[in-house]
Chain A
Amino acid sequence: MSTFIQQVIDGLSTGSIYAAMALALVLIYRSTNILNFAQGEMAMFSTYIAWQLNNWGVPLVLAILAAIAISFVGGMAIEQGIVRHVDQSSELAVVVVTLGIFLVLNALAGWIWTYFVKSFASPFPSVVWRIGRVSLSAQSVLTLVVIGVQMVLLYLLFQRTKLGLGMRAAALSRKNAEIVGISARRMMMLGWGLSASLGAVAGALIAPKLFLEPNMMFAVLLYGFAGAALGGLDSAVGAVVGGLLVGVTENLAGTYIGWIGSDLKILVPFFLIIAVLAVRPAGLFGRQIAGRV
């Protein structure tokens, strides 16, 4: 039993990484209606900014907060400088551009900071609690707390505020949003800024568990997408639940199904996703689009 609990806790800990990324993906999807493939690299770049500031002597927490602010501006700049000029009526074009941003940021980070692995300190204390034979690190718990807070804030933003309503409207139909006086352009810009800052938070949470290097986010982005798709791409709650589920199922399958082991365990969540999406195409918490013609 204690092995099981331990595996679930470890799974939640890994899953929280995916959840952090999934939240950023959901934010940009809801505010701009696109899948941002550059989200992982943007988070990686933000983490390097935090690392650099910290390396220059800025205290870690301050450095992370500064990186979040810089990312907000940077995200808006990417939208203003690049994404805005792409034909918005073609979703494919926008997606391809995000792939381009992915490559540019990856190469740029390698050029500025090299591909040598750097370690990124955790902003949380390195305490580990033991309850019976189960161990629980403060870092995992606090990471989950931060993600929980983000999830609630994001939910409140979209469901309870005027700004959130405007962002959702602009993402769904630019034309209909403008008719009621919403500046769709400003909403897009804000969406990019906010999701870049969420990415910075994700990076700062993830980097201490992995290492800091330009390719650190490849797998995380993939799992983040998986988590977001599982939970429903337009739901903050779904992103977190989906991310955590991916982490936990991956871990449990690796432990309990002998022939899967650690090599094949990444396949398990993907089978789970296919199964869920076959039944509920909008994801566990996604909005089912019901229409009457």
Chain B
Amino acid sequence: MSTLRVTDLHASYGPMKVLHGVSFNVGDGQVTALLGPNGAGKTTALRAICGTVRSSGTIELDGEVLAQRSATRMARLGVAHVPEGRGTFGEFTVLENLRLGGYSRKDSLDESIEQVFDWFPRLRERMTQVAGSLSGGEQQMLAIARALLLRPRLLLLDEPSQGLAPTVTADVYRILRDLQQSLGTTILVVEQNARAALRLADQAFVLESGRLVLGGPASEIAADESVRRSYLGY
């Protein structure tokens, strides 16, 4: 398990600055939610952490400063990323996608795959189907299952609710909660659906226009009606 410390993170796409000095911590074994409206820079923050967008600032994982970051390197460090659009291979079978999730591991994956199938029984049924034929919720579950196969020190989730019906979102979050409770995985979840994410999270930060506007225990943020109205839209 591990902690992630983000300090003074700036990021831009070409001339357009998206993040203006964002700092936050992700506590060991905790779920941290990064909330905010569309275009606030949530996804960019995840990308900057993974090194797939140009950024400055310091990222520390368990006290080690990660200077040269790339998607490949982060995976090898044990940071699993479920990106926007899920990042699974629609042309590959469910099983192949899961095997890819554990690509950076040297040991056998069979046991972990069995374990993941226990979490996601629907995936076991659809093991040999191509991922593209799954429903949206199943695909999201596959993306999470795939990330778990890395046995991640840190799990980065980008909008797990995206494109899902409310009941399916609730299913996905229920499974995430169960998983987190039994595995104790450190999770950083970026989410526009603040209500769902706040129920899962231990702490939360709110981004607006590339700046952190507030942060604190998730329960307090969820309880503060004015915060909910002005920043979270519910």
Contacts and interface: CB of A to CB of B under 8 A. Distances in A.
B108 to A, nearest CB: 11
A85 interface: no
B87 A179 contact: yes
Contacts of A165: 96, 99-100, 103
Interface of A: 162, 165-166, 168-169, 172-173, 175-184, 287, 289-292
Contact of A289 (B81, B91, B135, B150): B91
B72 A292 contact: no
- Report the 4 A-B pairs with minimum CB-CB distance, sorted nearest first: A181-B75, A181-B104, A178-B71, A291-B132
B226 to A, nearest CB: 38
A162 B106 CA distance: 11
A180 B101 contact: yes
B132 A179 contact: no
Interface residues of B, number: 27
A166 B103 contact: yes
10 contacts: A165-B99, A173-B89, A175-B87, A176-B89, A177-B100, A178-B72, A179-B75, A181-B76, A182-B100, A290-B130
Interface of B: 52, 70-72, 75-76, 81, 83, 87-92, 96, 99-101, 103-104, 130, 132-135, 146, 150
B44 to A, nearest CB: 15
A176 B133 contact: no
B103 A162 contact: yes
Given A165-B96, A290-B130, A292-B134, A176 B103 contact: no
B103 A182 contact: yes
Contact of A180 (B91, B104, B132): B104
Contact of A169 (B75, B81, B89, B134): B89
A289 B76 CA distance: 30
Contact of B71 (A169, A175, A292): A175
Give the residue among A166, A173, A180, A291 with the most B Cβ atoms within 10 A: A180
A289 B87 CA distance: 17
B155 to A, nearest CB: 12
A183 B92 CA distance: 19
Contacts of A166: 100, 103
